[in-house]
Amino acid sequence: MHSATDADNADALRKAAHGMKSSSANDGAERLAALCKVLQMLGCSGTLEGARSLLQSADQELLRVLQALMDEHATTSRSFRTDLSG
């Protein structure tokens, strides 16, 4: 999405945002999916006005989602090891 925005390529932004939106929604990252939906709509409209700000928000949300996934993985791994040893 960054590359598309940097290249001022609305169609590429639309495609990239659509893919990220779908993946995010499937993984339960609703806020990230919503931000990607807005970015996708920007791409559909042919304008990139406001895209950089939305990308910054999407980046922050992606970091939050990734941290939550890593925390969940660590918790699950600890629980699994405890179950095996106990």
Cβ proximity of 36 and 55 under 8 Å: no
Q: What are 65-81's pLDDT values in tens digits?
A: 999 999 998 888 776 66
Q: Which of the pair, 47 or 38, is modelled with greater confidence?
A: 38
User: Closest Cα to residue 48, out of 23, 12, 73, 22?
Assistant: 12
Name 27's Cβ contacts closer than 8 Å, sequence gap at least 6: 65
User: Closest Cα to residue 40, out of 29, 26, 27, 54?
Assistant: 54
- Please state the domain count of the chain: 1
Cα(51)–Cα(24) distance, rounded to whole angstroms?
Answer: 18
The pTM of the full predicted model, rounded to 2 decimals, is 0.84
Q: What are 23-36's pLDDT values in tens digits?
A: 999 999 999 999 99
pLDDT value of residue 75: 86
The overall longest dimension of the chain from CA atoms, in Å, is 59
Q: Residue 58 sits in which domain range?
A: 2-85
- Work out the mean pLDDT of the chain and round it to a whole number: 93
Cα(73)–Cα(14) distance, rounded to whole angstroms?
Answer: 31
Q: What are 14-24's pLDDT values in tens digits?
A: 999 999 999 99
